[in-house]
């Protein structure tokens, strides 16, 4: 049985303490055991991070740090097959997805923030003074300190490195707590850190659960200077309570209940393809995913038929098979949650156009967490299926008659992460995008990323923005140095 250990101060440690099992969502078999980090181990990790911060990492020059970041990216590339296998073992996602999205983005995150650090413009201001000599102000960027990085399971390497890369680039040290469901790639990254010469204590990994366990030991720790978290909005609330102690800064990327808006003048095939991708990619487990679709009435029926046909065409199965296009949910527990919404949809009177249950698969997958891609119509906007984040491969499609109506319905949610708008009228696209209360509005696209742009959510979808210079703002303490001449 594979044993996954914690990584503290440059070494994998054996704790002989509590362990928990990693169950494959493909087969239901236990594929690994994970050593849970208790409070003492979390304390050691934070102490190691703190010592590394003041001892050397914050003193490295930008070029020393960026050279190491580039080496990390290269090493992830060199070992990409191991990273892909690790991601598949934890999540069951298709090889085609892990190899084109998760792992390349893991490497790209390090390159992007290495590049950004080298290009950050210097901000200076000259100030007039009564004696006529003046003063020069220079803005400097000091690392914020020890950063707790708390991650979810849906895109484990991508989302973790999206935080770790800018944190390290800015001279911070990190203690990462991956999700208990996806411990493998953070652990593999520890090997990469050692291989490329990242000094001990700069990158630490503690495994375990969240509430009253590893996650909370970390967020409550007074030695943690800031917390960056990706996960559910409710968890964000719990973490924020702990962050309040000591007034620690937070950056939160939280849940979504994202609306797609399809106008009758769209490129029809591109819109169907785009909404299908936004609904079913990663088995619907993407925070940016579309679970509410509003389609202008003249193309509504045709759109529903085409989307349902796309849903039915997705093929579950062996993650390594080239024709597999959809994986399982992360766990049986999560499938219970998603199935409870399938039941609610039925009870609330939905018409189901595709899916709605569990697929028939070979016997060896019987204990996995498989579920059918599902498309509904006919629900009232008050249904929990339309109001709450499901995080599964499913969406509800409703018709609309005017731009104002589409905007009002899209905005009728406490979430505000992302939207995708499908139209060939550029003026309308701009108008609508500006009126939807979200952090990210895509037009004729979805999940098209430029890592220099601000990423985050409005409402209960997040606090703050990361990406490009916005990451630097979170991961550094800006200091103005005013020199009187
Ligand atoms: P989750 O909130 O249950 O868990 C995320 C992480 O937080 C895990 O590592 C977990 O162990 C830890 N955790 C849980 N409770 C904690 C506590 N009290 N203190 C400290 N740590 C705690 O989320 P999940 O189920 O892993 O991921 C799915 C959710 O993440 C969805 O809501 C999804 O929308 C959201 N998400 C958001 C984004 C984004 O960018 N906005 C990206 C990916 C996922
Ligand atoms: O692309 C990113 O940087 C990002 N944070 C994506 C989030 C996806 C949510 O599941």
Model confidence pLDDT, tens digit, residues 138-177: 999 999 999 999 999 999 999 999 999 999 999 999 999 9
Following CA atoms 413, 418, 420, 425 in sequence, which dihedral angle do they give, to the nearest 10 degrees? 90
pLDDT-based confidence at residue 16 (cuts at 50, 70, 90): confident
**Ligand having the closest approach to the CA of 452:** 2
Q: Is the pLDDT of residue 210 over 90?
A: yes
3-state helix, strand, coil in the chain (%, to 5): 40, 25, 35
Q: Which residues line ligand 1 (CB under 6 A)?
A: 150-154, 159, 177, 179-180, 209-211, 215-216, 219, 230-232, 235, 238-239, 253-256, 287, 389, 391, 417, 457, 461-462
Look up the pTM and report it: 0.97
Please report, to the nearest 10 degrees, the dihedral formed by the alpha carbons of residues 251, 257, 262, 267 taken in order. Answer: 60
* Predicted pLDDT at 459: 98
Lowest mean pLDDT among 119-123, 237-241, 351-355: 119-123
Instruction: Check: CB of residue 219 under 8 Å from CB of residue 239.
Output: yes
CA dihedral 146, 185, 68, 66 (to 10 degrees): -70
283 DSSP 8-state letter: G
CA 333 – ligand 2 centroid, Å: 23
How far apart, in Å, are the Cα atoms of 197 and each of 66, 71, 103, 463?
13, 9, 21, 34
> In the prediction, which pLDDT does 24 show?
98
Stated as kind and residue range, the H or E segment containing 226 is strand 226-230
Q: Which uninterrupted H or E stretch holds 436?
A: none
Place of tokens 């393809």: 273
Which residue in the block uniquely carries the two structure tokens 């709450």? 388
Q: Whose CA is nearest to atom 9 of ligand 2?
A: 287
Predicted local distance difference test score (pLDDT) of residue 182: 98
């Amino acid at each position: 049985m594979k044993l996954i250990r914690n990584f503290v101060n440059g070494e994998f440690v054996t704790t002989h303490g509590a362990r928990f099992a990693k169950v494959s969502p493909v087969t239901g078999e236990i594929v690994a055991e994970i050593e849970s980090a208790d409070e003492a181990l979390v304390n050691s990790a934070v102490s190691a991070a703190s010592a590394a911060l003041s001892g050397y990492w914050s003193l490295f020059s930008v070029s020393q740090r960026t050279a190491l970041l580039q080496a990390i990216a290269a090493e992830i590339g060199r070992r990409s097959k191991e990273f892909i296998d690790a991601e598949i073992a934890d999540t069951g996602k298709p090889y085609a997805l892990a190899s084109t999205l998760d792992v390349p983005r893991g490497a790209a995150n390090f390159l992007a923030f290495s590049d950004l650090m080298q290009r950050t413009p210097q901000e200076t201001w000259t100030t007039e003074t009564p004696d006529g000599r003046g003063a020069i102000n220079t803005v400097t960027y000091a690392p914020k300190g020890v950063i707790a990085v708390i991650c979810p399971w849906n895109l484990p390497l991508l989302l973790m490195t999206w935080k770790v890369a800018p944190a390290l680039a800015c001279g911070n040290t990190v203690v990462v707590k991956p999700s208990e469901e996806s411990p493998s790639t953070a652990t593999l990254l520890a090997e990469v850190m050692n291989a490329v010469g990242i000094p001990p204590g700069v990158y630490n990994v503690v495994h375990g659960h969240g509430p009253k366990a590893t996650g909370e030991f970390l967020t409550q720790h007074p030695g943690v200077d800031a917390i960056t978290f990706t996960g559910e909005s409710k968890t964000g609330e719990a973490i924020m309570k702990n962050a309040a102690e000591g007034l620690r800064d937070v950056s939160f990327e939280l849940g979504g209940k994202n609306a797609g808006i399809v106008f009758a003048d769209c490129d029809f095939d591109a819109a169907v393809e785009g909404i299908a991708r936004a609904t079913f990619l990663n088995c619907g487990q993407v925070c940016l995913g579309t679970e509410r679709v509003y389609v202008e009435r003249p193309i509504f029926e045709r759109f529903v038929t085409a989307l349902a046909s796309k849903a039915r065409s997705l093929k579950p199965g062996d993650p390594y098979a080239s024709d597999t296009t959809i994986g399982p949910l992360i766990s049986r527990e999560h499938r219970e949650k998603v199935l409870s919404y399938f039941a609610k949809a039925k009870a609330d009177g939905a018409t189901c156009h595709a899916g709605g249950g569990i697929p028939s698969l070979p016997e060896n997958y019987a204990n996995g967490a498989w579920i059918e891609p599902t498309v509904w119509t006919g629900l009232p906007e008050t249904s929990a299926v339309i109001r709450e984040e499901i995080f599964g491969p499913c969406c509800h499609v409703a018709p609309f008659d005017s731009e104002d109506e589409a905007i009002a319905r899209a905005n009728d949610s406490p979430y505000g992460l992302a939207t995708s708008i499908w139209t060939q009228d550029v003026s309308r696209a701009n108008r609508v995008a500006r009126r939807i209360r979200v952090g990210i509005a895509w037009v004729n696209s979805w999940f098209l990323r430029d890592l220099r742009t601000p990423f985050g959510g409005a409402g209960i979808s997040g606090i703050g923005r990361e990406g490009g210079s916005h990451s630097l703002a979170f991961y550094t303490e800006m200091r103005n140095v005013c020199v009187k001449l």
